[in-house]
């Protein structure tokens, strides 16, 4: 099993949900880059579990220990290694899953692939817990991008069919992408956020869960970053986003809406204003032919409902070869979307910073 991604900035994720710790190794960060560790901790705290009615009651501080790569908060050119120790595990909740896999989880396929040797507790290496070290790497990438004039931010776009206001595809500012960051429930429209919170509570009360969509944007990306065909902006960002557990769909700009539009509606017209090229719209979401246009890169990703639910479901006994019923116990988010907002920011930032470094080698 290899959990590694990236070309110029490569990230390896290690650990399991209930192992002694989880972490990452990041290679390729240029030396001499100052990392604000307080800002990074604040970023990790946005993802950390516990304390809110829409998240798992499992509480983890998510305090990273840097084992290498930083000297007095400055990158030294060596691989950056960071560890988060797991401190609040209840592995007994998962004993039954060695026989009876959870529908919607990787339990069955992991058992078939690893022949029973996989770590079942908490979902093992398939757990959303592994997004914490991804946020270490991505939180650093966010700071490095800011040094380049690029700002990355996200918000909840939809939960249980209830929509937040959307980012403006065209004319989005660096301030706009951070509007939701300081909020406990990261939406642009607080009234819609209250409706989403009620829908999550209703699902939890029913022993069920809900899914949703996160929208992320990056402003300040220069024109000309990315490659045609297989190494384009959309390719790189989508591949990183699909590494987040529960992501089932990704779209850029107007996304699937373009299928119902005419070319005259979808095409982003261009004009010369004060000697520079200006786009009249941004339906493309910041990229054409896999290469950045200079407009904001705007992407949305869909998250499935949390598969671990207490309602009775159909499953099987893998040892006895019989049909079984299953009601999942343990501590789980009734909706992963809320805590996924900084994870999406981390993934997008890593992909864009990797591409930015690549563009300087052309």
CB 331 within 8 Å of CB 204: no
> DSSP label at 164?
P
Tokens of 348: 């997008």
Report the pLDDT value the prediction gives residue 48, as an integer from 0 to 100. 83
CB 80 within 8 Å of CB 141: no
Report the pLDDT value the prediction gives residue 58, as an integer from 0 to 100. 59
Report the pLDDT value the prediction gives residue 285, as an integer from 0 to 100. 98
Query: In angstroms, rounded to a whole number, what is the distance separating the alpha carbons of residues 354 and 357?
Result: 5
Residues 219-231: tens digit of each pLDDT: 999 999 999 999 9
Task: Confirm whether residue 305 is marked as ligand binding.
Answer: yes
Q: What is the pTM of this model?
A: 0.94
Task: Confirm whether residue 126 is marked as ligand binding.
Answer: yes
Task: Confirm whether residue 47 is marked as ligand binding.
Answer: yes
Rg (CA), the chain: 21
SS3 state of residue 192: helix
Task: Confirm whether residue 127 is marked as ligand binding.
Answer: yes
> DSSP label at 158?
E
CB 136 within 8 Å of CB 13: no
Q: Which residues of 24-41 are buried (b: 16+ CB within 10 A; e: fewer)?
A: bbbbbbeeebebeeeebb
Task: Confirm whether residue 329 is marked as ligand binding.
Answer: no
Report the pLDDT value the prediction gives residue 17, as an integer from 0 to 100. 86
Residues whose CB is less than 8 angstroms from the CB of residue 118 and which lie 6 or more positions away in sequence, other chains included: 110, 111, 124, 125
Task: Confirm whether residue 204 is marked as ligand binding.
Answer: no
Q: Kindly list the structural domains of the chain, giving each domain's residue range(s) and its CATH number in brackets, ordered by start.
A: 4-359 (3.60.150.10)
Bridge partners for 163 per DSSP: 158
Report the pLDDT value the prediction gives residue 332, as an integer from 0 to 100. 78
* Rounded-to-10 torsion of CA 186, 189, 190, 191: -140
C-alpha separations of 334 from 52, 237, 307, 308, 320 in Å: 11, 26, 9, 8, 31
CB atoms within 10 A of CB 325: 9
Q: Write out residues in the chain with pLDDT < 70, as ranges.
A: 1, 49-60, 88-94, 330-331, 362
Task: Confirm whether residue 304 is marked as ligand binding.
Answer: yes
Secondary structure E strands in 205-311? 212-219, 247-252, 270-273, 276-279, 287-288, 291-292, 297-303
Task: Confirm whether residue 255 is marked as ligand binding.
Answer: no
């Amino acid at each position: 099993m290899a959990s590694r991604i990236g070309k110029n900035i490569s990230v390896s994720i290690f650990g399991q949900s209930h192992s002694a710790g989880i972490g990452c190794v990041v290679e390729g960060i240029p030396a001499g880059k100052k990392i604000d560790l307080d800002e990074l901790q604040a970023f990790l705290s946005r993802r950390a579990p516990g304390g809110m009615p829409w998240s798992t009651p499992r509480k983890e501080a998510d305090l990273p220990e840097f084992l290498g790569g930083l000297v007095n908060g400055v990158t030294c050119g060596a691989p950056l290694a960071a560890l988060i120790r797991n401190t609040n595990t209840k592995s007994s909740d998962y004993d039954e899953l060695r026989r009876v896999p959870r529908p919607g989880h990787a339990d069955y396929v992991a058992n078939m692939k690893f022949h029973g040797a996989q770590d079942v507790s908490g979902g093992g290496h398939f757990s959303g817990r592994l997004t914490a070290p991804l946020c270490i790497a991505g939180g650093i990438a966010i700071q490095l991008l800011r040094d380049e004039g690029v700002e990355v931010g996200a918000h909840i776009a939809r939960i249980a069919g209830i929509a937040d206001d959307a980012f403006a595809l065209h004319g989005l500012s660096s301030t706009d992408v951070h509007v939701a960051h300081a909020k406990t429930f990261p939406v642009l429209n607080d009234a819609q956020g209250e409706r989403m919170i009620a829908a999550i509570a209703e699902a939890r009360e029913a022993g069920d869960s809900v899914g949703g969509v996160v929208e992320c944007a990056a402003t300040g990306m220069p024109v000309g970053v990315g490659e045609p065909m297989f190494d384009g902006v959309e390719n790189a960002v989508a591949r990183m986003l699909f590494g987040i557990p529960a992501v089932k769909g990704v779209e850029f700009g107007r996304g699937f809406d373009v299928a119902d539009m005419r070319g005259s509606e979808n095409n982003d017209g261009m004009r010369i204003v004060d000697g520079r090229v200006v786009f009249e719209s941004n339906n493309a979401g910041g990229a054409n032919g896999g290469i950045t246009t200079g407009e904001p890169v705007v992407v949305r990703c869909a998250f499935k409902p949390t598969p671990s639910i207490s309602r009775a479901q159909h499953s099987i006994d893998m040892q006895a070869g019989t049909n079984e019923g299953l009601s999942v116990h343990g501590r789980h988010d009734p909706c992963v979307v809320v805590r996924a907002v900084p994870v999406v920011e981390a993934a997008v930032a890593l992909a864009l910073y990797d591409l930015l470094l690549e563009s300087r080698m052309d």
